[in-house]
A and B are shown apart, each in its own frame.
Chain A
Amino acid sequence: MEKISEENSCRCGKKHCCEDADVPEAVPAAKPSGLPNVALVGNANTGKTTLFNSLTGLRQHVGNYPGVTVTKYSGPLKLFHGEKIELTDLPGIYSLAATSKDERVVIDVLSGRLAKKGTPRPDAIVCVVDVNNLQRNLFLATQVAELGIPMVLALNQIDMARRDGLTVNTDLLRERLGIPVIAVSARKGEGIDALKQAIADVLKNGNKMKTVSWNAGTRKALETLRGGLSEEVSKRVSDAELQRVIFDVASLVANRLKGEDIEYIGELLKKSRACIREAGENPHSTEAIQRYAFIKEILAGTLHHGKERTTFTSVFDKLLLNRVLGVVFFFAAMWGVFWCIYTLAAFPMDWIDGWFGALGESVGAKLEGSPMFQSLVVDGIIAGVGGVLVFLPQILILFFFLGLLESTGYMARAAFLMDKLFGWCGLNGKSFVPMLSGYACGIPGIMGARTIEDPKTRLATILAVPFMSCGARMPVYVLMCGVLQRVLAQNPSYAESSASIASAVFVGMYLVGVLVAVPVSWVYTKFILKSKAAPFVLEMPRYQLPRLRDVGLRVWQSGWEYTRRAGTIIFAMSVVIWFLTYFPRSEETAEQARAEFVAEAAAAQNVPAADFEKMLAAAESAEAPSEAQEALVGELEHRIDGAWMEDSYIGRFGKFCQPVFAPCGFDWRITVGVLGSFPARELIVSTLGITYKLGGDVDEETEDLYAAMEKTTHADGSPVFTIPVIIGIMVFFALCGQCLAEIVVIARESSWKWAGIAWAQMTFLAWLGAVLCCQIGSLF
C-alpha cells in the first residue's frame, strides 16, 4: 500500500553531478500512477510527516528533531469528491541552496529531475510551515513560489500557537499571498478537511503564490545574465532559475545552463554579480535580505502575540542545558534507562522464559514417538527462537525510552551537550543524531547520515554508526551479564555486589562502541578521508509532550520487527544450527563413547569390565529401574550426547576454527556461536541455546542456559566462562559488524568497497578486543 522509493541521486558527491546533466528538463510529468502528484515541502521538523500520516493514514516515522525524514515516499490520498491524488512526503529543507543528500532529493523532485524514475514534478505543493516561527518558514516558501507550481500554505502546529497566545489572520495572509492559507494541527487532526479541500481547489485553479519583487540591482544582474546567454539556452530557462544561479553559483540549477562554455558562464556570472555590487549590495546576502524584507511586509499585521510569557522550552533549557545540571541530568537519564532495561525487564522475561519452558515440555511429550522430530522442535526451534524472544521485553523498554527521547525534543539537546566529546575526531555535529539512532538500530542511523552535507564526513559517520550498540546486541549483553553475575556470585569477594557489577558492565558495553568509534573516526578523517570538520547549524526544537501514538508506534514497530526476525531469520538459522548440531549422530560414535564409559567406570569401581557391562545392560532394560540404575543410564546418555555433539558437523567446524579464537579464550561452542551469528547478532543466543541443549554438558536438572554456561569447562576442567572471557565475548559483540542487513545498507549508502572495509575493520577490532580482554584479564 505504501510505496517507498529511494533515489541515490548523486553518488559522486560532487555538486554538479554527472548524472544530473543529461536529464531533459521540464518534461511534462510522466505519471506512472496517472494521479496528480502533491508534495509536502517545508522546513525540517515542521510536521510534514505527521501531516502525511494523518492525511494518508500511513505510519511513517515522526520525531521532534530536524532531519527525521531523509528520503521521499508517497501514499495515495482520496479527496472529497473522490479524486485521488498521490501525496509525497519529503525531507525538510531550509533553502533551495541545499547541499546534503537528503536535501537534494527535494530539489530533484521539485525540478522534475526524477520524473523518469517514478516521481513526477509535483502538480501542486503543500508548503508546511510552523506557524510559531512563520518568518523563518516563509523564506523557503518564497523560494518555492518561484518554481511556478500551484501551492497551498499549511500553517501547522496551530495548537501550539493557541497555547502560547499567538493568533494569525489567515484571511489577510491569503489575500496577500494569493494562495489558500489553512491553519492546521497535524497532531490533533484539526483543519485536515479544509486542507484537503484546498488541495483540490489549487489543483483545479492553479493558484500561485506571490513572489518577491527584486530591487534594481538584482534585476540588472538578471538582465545581464540573460543577455549574455545564447538564444537556445535562454529560451529554456526561467527568470527564477537564473536568479538562483546568480545568488548561489553552486546551485544545481547551474546544470540548466549546459550548452554554454563553462568559463564563459563563469565570467558572465561574475559580471552579473558585479551589478549587485554596483548597486551597493552584497551578492551573498542580498537574496536573504530582500526575501526577509518581503516576508516582513507580508506578515505585517497578521500575527498577534499574546502577552509575553516564559515558555516551557526556555525554562527546561535553563535546567537541561545548564553546564552542571544538564550533564548530571544527561548521565542520570542514561543510567536510568539502562537500569530500567536491566532490572524491570527481568519480570516479564521470567514469564516468557517459563512459558517457553512449559511449551517445550508439553510439545516434547506429544512428540515422544519420534525422537529426531522432538529434538528439532524442542532443542532446535523452541530453544533457538524462544531464546531470542525472551529478550523482547528489553527491546520494548529500550525503544520506549528512545521514543521518548525522540519525541520530547531532548535528542538535539543531547547532541548539544555531547558534541565536543565527539567533535574532536572530525565528526560533524550532525553525526551525533545518526549515532544516537544507531543505539536503536544501525540501519536508520546509517541512512540518517544523509543529513550531513560533506560527503567525507558523511562516510566517516556511516562507518562510525555500526559501532553503536544496537538493540540486537542487547540480548547478548543481557545473557552474558547474567552469566557474569553468577560467576561473580561464586567469588566471595564479589558475591555481595555481583548484581551491581553486572549491571555496571552492562552499561559499560554501551560505552565500548563509542570509545572505539571516536578514535577510529579520528584516524579516518585525519589520515584516510582527510575531511575537514564541516560547518553545521542545528535547530533546537521546542519541547513537546511526547505523543503517545508516536512512542507507542515506535515500540510496536520495533517489537514487531524483532519478533519478525525471530520468526524468520532466527527460525531458519536455528533449524540449520540444529541440523548441524544433531547430525551425523553415528552409531559408531555412540558405541565408542559407551565403550569408553564402561572402561572408565569399571576401572573406577574396580570391577571387571564385563561385569559392569552386564550391570549396565540390566539397568538399560529394567522395566522399573531403581534410582541407582536410572542415574547410571542417565550418565551414559549424557556421555553419548557429548560425544555426538563433538562429532557433529558443527562440532567439527567449531574445532577447526577454534584456533583463531583460542587467544580470546573461546571454546569451540562460543566459536560456533560467534561464527553462526554473522547474519544477525542475536543468533549467538539461539546458537548457544541449541548447542547447550543438545550437548551433554547440561543435565536435566539444570534450570537454564545461564547455569549450563557457568558449568561449562575446558578439557582440562577449568571453567570456560571466566570473567575476562565473558567480557571478551561482549566486547566482541559490541564491536563486530555482525549484521547482514547493516552491511547491505552501508553498501547502498556508500559503496561495496566501503561496506567491505567497514566489515573487515569491525571484525578485526572485535577479535582484537576479545583477545585483549582475555589476555589482560588472565594476568590477574
Chain B
Amino acid sequence: MCVLNLNCEEIGFSQHMIPLSEAKIGQRVQVQNLDADDPVYQRLLAFGLTPGVEVRIAHVAPLGDPIAISFCSQKVMIRRADAARVMVEEIN
C-alpha cells in the first residue's frame, strides 16, 4: 500500500483509490463512480452519495466499527463491512 502510494505521487497522480472503510477518521474522500448493483451503495445513492461527492469520516465507534460518515450536511452510520464495498479517492 505504502509503495503504491509513493509511486502515485511520484508520477504526479493525485488519485489513489481505497475502500471507504480504510479511510481514517477526519479524512476527506471523494466517491467514485461504481458499477455495483449493491444494496448498500443503492441506499447511499438515495442519500445523495453520487460520484464525486465529498465524504468525511466523522466518527469511529469505540470498538472500531461502525463508522459515521458525513456528506451533504448529514451524518449516517454504516458498518465497515458495508463501507468496504464503496470505493473512494483520497483528496489531497
Residues of A bordering B, CB below 8 Å: 94-95, 97, 99, 132-133, 135-136, 139-140, 248, 282, 284-285, 287-289, 292, 313, 317, 321, 323-324, 326-327, 412, 415-417, 419-421, 423, 429, 453, 533-540
Contacts and interface: CB of A to CB of B under 8 A. Distances in A.
B91 interface: no
Give the one of B38, B72, B74 with max A CB within 10 A. B74
B3 interface: no
Contacts of B42: 97, 248, 284
B58 interface: yes
A707 B40 CA distance: 58
A416 B59 contact: yes
B66 interface: yes
B35 A429 contact: no
Contact of A289 (B35, B50, B61): B50
A65 to B, nearest CB: 12
A321 B75 CA distance: 13
A714 B29 CA distance: 70
Contacts of A248: 42
B22 interface: no
Nearest to A313: B75
B63 A284 contact: no
B48 A139 contact: yes
B17 interface: no
B35 A537 contact: no
B82 to A, nearest CB: 4
Contacts of B65: 419-420, 423
A99 to B, nearest CB: 8
Contacts of A540: 68, 75-77
Given A284-B37, A536-B79, A416 B48 contact: no
A214 to B, nearest CB: 16
A284 B35 contact: yes
A95 B39 CA distance: 13
B61 A537 contact: no
A292 B62 CA distance: 34
A327 B51 contact: no
A539 B62 CA distance: 18
Contacts of A324: 62
Interface string B28-66: 000001111111111111111011000000111111111
Contacts of A534: 39
B6 interface: no
B40 A537 contact: yes
Nearest to A290: B50
B74 A539 contact: yes
Given A135-B73, A534-B39, A535-B43, 6 more contacts: A94-B43, A285-B45, A317-B59, A412-B77, A537-B47, A538-B76
B39 A133 contact: no
Contact size class for B? 35 or more
Given A327-B62, A538-B76, A282 B46 contact: no
B68 A321 contact: yes
Contacts of A317: 58-59, 68, 75
Contacts of A289: 50-51
A37 to B, nearest CB: 26
A288 B68 contact: no
A136 B47 contact: yes
A362 to B, nearest CB: 56
A533 B66 contact: no
B50 A292 contact: yes
Nearest to A540: B75
B81 interface: yes
Interface of B: 33-48, 50-51, 58-66, 68, 72-79, 81-82
A510 to B, nearest CB: 20
A537 B77 contact: yes
Nearest to A166: B73
A99 B82 CA distance: 17
A284 B39 CA distance: 10
Give the one of B38, B65, B66 with max A CB within 10 A. B66
B78 A416 contact: no
A160 to B, nearest CB: 12
A453 B40 CA distance: 12
B47 A94 contact: yes
Given A282-B34, A429-B77, A136 B48 contact: yes
Nearest to B37: A284
Contacts of A419: 61, 65-66, 77, 79
Contacts of A133: 72-74
Contacts of A539: 47, 74-76
26 contacts: A95-B43, A95-B46, A140-B46, A284-B42, A285-B34, A285-B41, A285-B51, A289-B51, A323-B62, A412-B77, A416-B66, A416-B68, A417-B61, A417-B62, A420-B63, A420-B65, A421-B63, A423-B79, A429-B79, A535-B82, A537-B44, A537-B77, A539-B74, A539-B75, A539-B76, A540-B75
Contact of A429 (B51, B66, B73): B66
Q: Which 3 A-B pairs have the closest CB atoms?
A: A420-B63, A288-B45, A95-B46
Given A139-B48, A282-B33, A537-B47, A416 B77 contact: yes
B87 to A, nearest CB: 13
Nearest to B42: A97
A576 to B, nearest CB: 49
A287 B38 CA distance: 14
A451 to B, nearest CB: 13
A645 B75 CA distance: 63
B50 A285 contact: yes
A657 B44 CA distance: 56
A538 B74 CA distance: 11
Contacts of B78: 535-538
A322 to B, nearest CB: 8
A321 to B, nearest CB: 4
A248 B42 CA distance: 10
Contacts of A423: 65-66, 79
Given A321-B68, A421-B63, A536-B82, A94 B77 contact: no
A540 B81 CA distance: 19
A217 B59 CA distance: 39
A679 to B, nearest CB: 39
B60 to A, nearest CB: 7
Nearest to A311: B73
Give the one of B33, B41, B79 with max A CB within 10 A. B79
Nearest to A288: B45
A548 to B, nearest CB: 26
Contacts of A288: 45-46, 48, 50
